Amino acid sequence: MMILHLINIDMKVGCDIITVARFIDWTDSHVRRIFKDEVYEQWVSRNRNIEYLAGRWALKEAVYKCCGKLENITNDLQGKPNSKHCSVSLSHDAGLCFAIAICPK
């Protein structure tokens, strides 16, 4: 049996859930207007995958809800989403995308 000891640390949490289908009709100009070049280039290199856009949108919203900062999510060296301000995680399933951001207060 594993026992976890939690340290009393104040944390902020932000989350967002969105339907992937919301991004079906997005055009190149729309994506460029909302996201920075790095996200646009990743989207194009992934054959304009709408799950990718939904994930970046959800992460952007989760980080904003957590930290109050608008931020474009980048990728780390392994291709995982990365934020300057928070720890982030992302999941896609059944046409939905869920993102969570956590950072200290």
Q: pLDDT by residue (tens digit) across 74-83?
A: 888 888 898 9
Angle between helices 50-67 and 37-45 (to 10 degrees): 150
Percent of the chain with pLDDT over 70: 92
Claim: this prediction has a pTM higher than 0.95: no
Distances from the Cα of 62 to the Cαs of 44, 57, 59, 90, in angstroms? 23, 9, 5, 10
Q: CB neighbours of 45 closer than 8 A, spacing ≥ 6?
A: none
Residue 3 has pLDDT above 80, yes or no: no
List alpha helices for 1-105, DSSP H: 28-34, 37-45, 50-67
Q: From the options 3.30.365.10, 3.30.110.40, 3.90.470.20, 1.10.15.40, give the CATH code of 17-104.
A: 3.90.470.20
Q: What is the pLDDT of residue 4?
A: 47
